[in-house]
Amino acid sequence: MTPVSDIYWHISGYAIFWILFAIAFGLFAQRVYFLFRLLRLGRREERSQNLGHRIKTMLVEVFPQWCNLKTVTRQDLAGIGHSLLFWGFGLFLISYIIFIGLGGGFGLSSVLAGSTFETAYSSILDIAGLFVCAAIVWAAIRRYIIRPERLEASFEAGIILLLVITLMVLHFCIEGFGYAAYNISASYPPIGAAFASFLISTDISESTLVAVYKGLWWLHYAIILGFLVYIPRSKHLHILASPFNVLFKSLAPKGALNLIDPEKAETIGASKIQDFTWKQLLDLYACAVCGRCHANCPATLSGKPLNPREVILNLKDHLLEVGPQLLKGETPSANPGTAMIEDVLTEEVIWNCTTCYACQEVCPVGIEHTVKLIDMRRNLVEHGRVSPSVAKALESVRLLGNPWEQPQSARLDWAEGRKVNLIQDREEVDVLYWVGCAGAYDPRSRDISLAVVSLLERAGVNYALLGTEERCCGDPARRMGEEGLFQMLARSNIEVLKKYSFNRILTHCPHCYNMLKNEYPQLGAQFEVVHHSQFLLELIHSGKIKLQERQELRLTFHDPCYLGRYNDIYDPPRQVLQAISKATMIEMRLNKTKAMCCGAGGGQIWIQSEKGRRIEDMRFEQIQEVDAQVVATACPYCTIMLDAVAQIKEPTGKIKVMDIAELVVRALAQ
Amino acid sequence: MKIVVCVKQVLDTRVPLAVNGSVVQKEPSPIYIMNPADRIALDKALEMKASLAGEEITVITAGPARAEQVLHMALAAGADEVVHLKDEAFEASDAYTTALALSRVIKELNYTMILCGNRSLDIGASQVPAFLAESLGIPQVTGVMELEIMSPGRVKLWRRLEKGRRQVIECPLPALYAVDSSAGQPRYVSEFSLRQAAKRRIRSLTLADIGLTQVDVGPQASLIRVVSLSPPKPRPKKIYIPDGSLSASQRMSYLLSGGLAKGKESSLLEGTADYLAEQIIKYLIDEGILPK
Ligand code: SF4
Ligand code: SF4
């Protein structure tokens, strides 16, 4: 018995029901269609391959709320609250379709009324309603009282909390008044029925009960319709967009950038919102404004202008602002104050990113921040809009084959005075040791290369180096947006590599590792690549490297971004350390997926953002928080950055910065 | 208005050089770049083109076949037209013969302004601009840091003097301006645009095209003869001192070069307004900027 079957002022309740519905749905559909058309302004991008796999991922991520739960930590339990809301409100949504839609609109309430299904479902809703209320109260307390750094108490957030809690209260009231009005006494649903018997026990007249019931029912209906209209027009658009965003998320290796074909591309990179692909635009809709990204961003934390959440939100506002004009075929960029680069996001913001991937790793809806920032860098590079230090590094890469402005002929200088195997002298080798630019030229990193070579020799590995035929892998160029240079380097390296016969490539640099393993395949070259943390572990396990008895060494490990977050290699370096020291590994506050960047990645070592604090200084302070004698790492950049700080902050050498290879060399059995 | 920019291809000095009769790079295949000051001159021309309508930039080089590289660079950077005065003999030409040959080409170009680098990275005689201006019969301004077109036909220029001083002068067009290499930072030219430019046509001229013959260029025509070259005296090695005020990449440069000269010292003063004002005045007097 829903009030829809009644007549109001000579108008059929059904008519009112459906007219209201048509208006609301019309407004909803109009907005969704508008948003869809905006997406189509973006460039094409293939994101529908492997649909089966995609659907499975979406089902796993969204419905069980893994997307949120995976980020739950002891300090940040909000994911649990969101999951309660999601499940609870999901049950309500289904109930709206069944009880209001089918029951009310289609007049099937007489079929449903009193059925076991109704009683059971309503009972579940009662319990779900309690959970939802609890989650809402918690959310409100967090936003308005605790105020964690990542959240702001926005007006929009307030509205939605209020709406949802009103719906919950109405649910209980409608149940109570409905049961009481028709004098149904039952023991289920527990809250509704209890409330009904309370109402019956009071001396409220039956006609009042009926009138209140009807009034509340229509109010309830109106709020639900209002919700439908409001959602696609608010920040809560993420409710609609994020499942699709998860469905279409990249299946490429983490953080991989798309390959530009200069012959086909209309523009290089993005300077206008419509230069992004549709998926990059969908990202903007999907943002839930949760702030997880900026709470983990080293640039934001160190006080630089970049804030990944603001990047997404500003781009979204910009899309919504200029979209209507673009749809009409006008060029809004002619208007002052609407240039995407400069007015919406400054060049400085775009160059602040270390591409550390911390934002993407925690984003519950799979937003790709780095791809957008690098796409904008690509456009800046194309127009020569780079800082002198970046220009210098890039030119050095182009002319000399490395970003350190060192001659190619000096690439093997690090091995001066010691015998190393060169691939040019060999028929076939098992392991090709790729040294990388830092390992070849940087005085600190050369020690790592020497350590690796001595371990290879000690273990009797059939290895060789490319020597002066090796050039920069292209990671700095690509991350700084110089796609053309990356392609040039990658092609020439691939050509060189294909000349020789080897089983796999070993490298101690996670940037080279990521490039060779995950991004060279874009140019048709598939190599088996192994990082030295994995390789050393292999050598230790197989007994090819014999270590002394384990020492008592207090070690902590700094996870390099391109080893950890990009390639999910967290355990091998830790296991290597455990083979060396019998003391338990000390973990820093921010470790593994949350480890803070050393500040060098994404070309940042040359970009040199001057604002705010130095990221490496902040990371070093985190190292100082734990009582470790050695901070081990497995990346030449991290070693350079952290060691430079250590020399100043710990001049007595109380904390040493060492690569795992150097530690293994020290621990070799005599 | 047509701007002609003269550029030269030089050896990249980041690669260690050796003196062996002539200057050579210790690298299997030599690496060449556009002379840094010429590149700044080209950038200045491009800036003018971006701010004024109707500019046209022609870039010209006199050099062997390999000098084509710098013209591709110029095209990629945004030059409208490039001219290659091609002859292997230019390799050993002195400033006078080079300027003479360039003037023959430029005379035909209907130019309004000529920009050159003030000095080349290799020989560094700073003579080509002067000879060129003389043979074209136009005024020249050297050591240009900044230039601004005031009205058609009049240019305001800032010349570099010692200790950061500037001389501001005005000069009518047509004229030749030699731009100082410190007048800017080279604007980056991307690999994609270089690749695109490599496909474009380069107008190439031979000596015959400009009415010269082999005897007019090269060592035999040169007024200056290089008698000998010797490597520089080794500089005392500086010691690397870790310094918290430097960024990681600056520290890197320190380490790699065995100690770079540190840039300007800066010091941060704190205190009351009176104290600070006093300190600033003291500094200005100490530095000789204010009279004692
Ligand atoms: S990749 Fe790292 S530095 Fe860049 S926006 Fe994300 S968290 Fe910040
Ligand atoms: S981008 Fe992702 S992590 Fe950042 S606020 Fe939006 S939803 Fe949250």
CA nearest to B246 within chain A: A644
User: Which residues in chain A touch residue B251, judged by CB atoms under 8 angstroms apart?
Assistant: 644
With beta carbons less than 8 A apart as the criterion, state whether A475 and A513 touch. Answer: no
CA distance A620 to A298: 13
Contact, B8 vs B121, CB < 8 A?
no
Q: What are phi and psi of A137, to 5 degrees?
A: -60, -45
| CB contact at 8 A, B19 and B226 | no
Residues of B in contact with A398 (CB under 8 A): 191
Q: From B166, B182, B216, give the residue that closes a domain.
A: B216
The separation between CA A505 and the C-alpha centre of its own chain, rounded to angstroms, equals: 29
For residue B263, pLDDT beyond 60: no
Ligand 2 centre from A356 Cα, in Å? Answer: 15
Please tell me the predicted confidence (pLDDT) of residue B150.
Answer: 87
**What is the distance between the alpha carbons of residues A476 and A390, in angstroms, rounded to a whole number?**
10
Predicted pLDDT at B226: 81
Q: Do the Cβ atoms of A276 and A284 come closer than 8 Å? A: no
Residues of A in contact with B255 (CB under 8 A): 442-444
Identify whether the C-beta of residue A619 lies closer than 8 Å to the C-beta of residue A597: yes
Dump pLDDT digits (tens) for A517-562: 999 999 999 999 999 999 999 999 999 999 998 889 999 999 999 9
Tell me if A309 CB under 6 Å of ligand 2. yes
Looking at the complex, report in whole angstroms how far the Cα of residue A417 sits from the nearest Cα belonging to chain B: 19
CA distance readout (Å), A349 to A299, A303, A357, A609: 9, 11, 16, 9
CA–CA distance from A62 to each of A70, A130, A205 (Å)? 11, 22, 47
B1 CA distance to ligand 1 middle (Å): 47
Assign B245 a pLDDT band (cuts: 50, 70, 90): low
Distance from residue A374's CA to the centre of ligand 2 (Å): 18
In CATH terms, A250-382 corresponds, of 1.10.3470, 3.10.20, 1.10.3120, 1.10.1060, to: 1.10.1060
Residue A293 alpha carbon, nearest atom of ligand 1: 7
pLDDT value at B248 more than 50: yes
Using an 8 Å Cβ cutoff, are B129 and B140 in contact?
Answer: yes
pLDDT of B192 higher than 70: yes
B189 touches chain A (CB under 8 A): yes
- For residue A260, the chain B residues in CB contact (below 8 A) are 192
Asked if A291 contacts A608 with a C-beta cutoff of 8 angstroms, the reply is no
**DSSP label at A543?**
T
Q: What's the pLDDT score for residue A338?
A: 80
**Host H or E run for residue A36:** helix A13-39
Same domain? B24 vs B147:
yes
Q: Do B12 and A647 touch (CB under 8 A)?
A: no
Top pLDDT among B7 and B53 is at B7
How many angstroms separate the CA atoms of A556 and A325, rounded? 55
Report the alpha-carbon distance of residue A87 to residue A128 in Å, rounded.
8
Name the residue facing B256 among A384, A406, A409 (closest C-beta).
Answer: A406
Q: Are B66 and B165 in the same domain? A: yes
Chain pair A-B, CB pairs under 8 angstroms: 101
Beta strands B22-25 and B17-20: pairing type? Answer: antiparallel
Ligand 1 contacts CB of residue A357 (under 6 A): yes
Within a 13 Å sphere around the CA of A390, how many CA atoms are in the beta-carbon half?
A: 29
What are the distances in angstroms from CA B80 to CA A29, A336, B4, B68, B73? Answer: 52, 29, 10, 15, 12
The reply to whether residue A443 touches residue B255, judged by beta carbons under 8 angstroms, is yes
Which one-letter amino acid corresponds to residue A208?
Answer: T
ipTM for the predicted complex: 0.86
pLDDT number for residue B260: 46
Between B93 and A283, residue with greater pLDDT: A283
Predicted confidence at residue A568, as pLDDT, reads 96
Are B7 and B77 members of one domain? yes
Question: Whole-model pTM?
Answer: 0.89
| Residue A582: exposure state from Cβ atoms within 10 A (0-12, 13-18, ≥19) | exposed
* CATH code, domain with B194: 3.40.50.620
b/e per residue, A519-530, with b = 16+ CB within 10 A?
bbebeebebebb
Confidence of residue B256 (pLDDT cuts 50, 70, 90): low
Q: Which pLDDT score, from 0 to 100, does residue B257 have?
A: 57
User: Which range has highest mean pLDDT (A63-72, A414-423, B10-19, B253-262)?
Assistant: A414-423
Within-domain flag for B262: yes
pLDDT for res A347: 94
- Separation CA B132–CA A22 (nearest Å): 81
Phi, psi (deg, nearest 5) at residue A407 = -70, 150
Can you point out the beta strands (E) in B87-225?
Answer: 113-117, 140-151, 154-160, 166-172, 175-179, 203-205
How confident is the model at residue B162, as a pLDDT?
Answer: 86
Number of domains in chain B: 2
| Average pLDDT rounded to a whole number, residues B204-229 | 86
Q: Is residue B223 part of a domain?
A: no
Give the residue, B163 or A172, on which the prediction is more confident: A172
**pLDDT, tens digit (0-9, with 9 covering 90-100), for B106-137:** 999 989 999 999 999 988 889 999 999 999 99
Q: What distance in Å separates the CA atoms of residue A246 and residue A258, rounded to the nearest whole number?
A: 19
DSSP secondary structure, A376-409, as one string = HHHHHHHTT---HHHHHHHHHHHHHSSTT---GG
Alpha-carbon distance A219 to A212, whole Å?
10
Which protein residue has the closest C-alpha to ligand 1 atom 6? A359
Tokens of A617: 């200084």
Contact B256 A647 (CB under 8 A): no
With CA atoms as reference, the chain A residue closest to B185 would be A388
Residue with the nearest Cα to atom 8 of ligand 2? Answer: A290
Task: Give chain B positions within 8 Å (CB) of A391.
Answer: 185-188
Domain boundary among B216, B249, B277: B216
* Whether B206 and B290 share a structural domain: no
- Chain B segment 63-92 residues within 8 A of A by beta carbon are 77
| Residue A109 CA, distance from chain mean position | 45
Asked, for residue B226, whether it belongs to a domain, the answer is no
Q: CB distance from B230 to chain A under 8 Å? A: no
In a domain, B222, yes or no: no
Residue-level pLDDT at B91: 83
Asked if B149 reaches chain A (Cβ–Cβ under 8 Å), the answer is no
- Six-digit token pair at A214? 């009807």
- Between the alpha carbon of residue B89 and those of residues B97, B106, B222, the distances in Å are 10, 19, 11
Residues B267 and B181 in one domain: no
pLDDT at B262: 46
Length of chain A: 670
Instruction: List, for residues A298-335, the tens digit of each pLDDT value.
Output: 999 999 999 999 999 999 999 999 999 999 988 776 66
**What's the pLDDT score for residue A333?**
62
Amino acid occupying residue A45: E
> For residues A442 and B248, what is the distance between their CA atoms, to the nearest angstrom?
12
Burial class from Cβ neighbours inside 10 Å (0-12, 13-18, 19+) for residue A613 reads: middle
The CA-based diameter of chain A, rounded to the nearest angstrom, is 102
Q: Where a domain ends, among B164, B182, B216?
A: B216
Q: Is the residue at B227 inside a domain?
A: no
Asked if A276 and A43 touch (Cβ cutoff 8 Å), the reply is: yes
- Residues of chain A where predicted confidence (pLDDT) is lower than 70: 1, 333-335
- Mean pLDDT for B65-94 is 92
pLDDT at B176: 96
Q: Say which ligand is closest to the CA of A363.
A: 2
* Residue B7 CA to its chain's centroid (Å): 8
Q: Which of residues 362-381 of A touch B (CB under 8 A)?
A: 381
Which residue carries 């004098």 as its tokens? A183
Collect all residues with Cβ–Cβ distance below 8 Å to B48 and sequence separation of at least 6. Answer: B3, B55, B147, B149
Establish if B242 touches chain A: CB-CB under 8 angstroms. Answer: yes
As assigned by CATH, the class of the A399-533 domain is alpha beta
- Pairing of β A555-557 and β A630-633: parallel
Q: Is residue B65 part of a domain?
A: yes
Q: Testing the interface with A: which of B46, B247, B257 to mutate, by most A Cβ within 10 A?
A: B247
At the top level of CATH, the class of A9-39+71-246 is: mainly alpha
**Domain residue limits at B263:** 236-292
pLDDT band at B261 (very low <50, low <70, confident <90, very high): very low
pLDDT of residue A517: 97
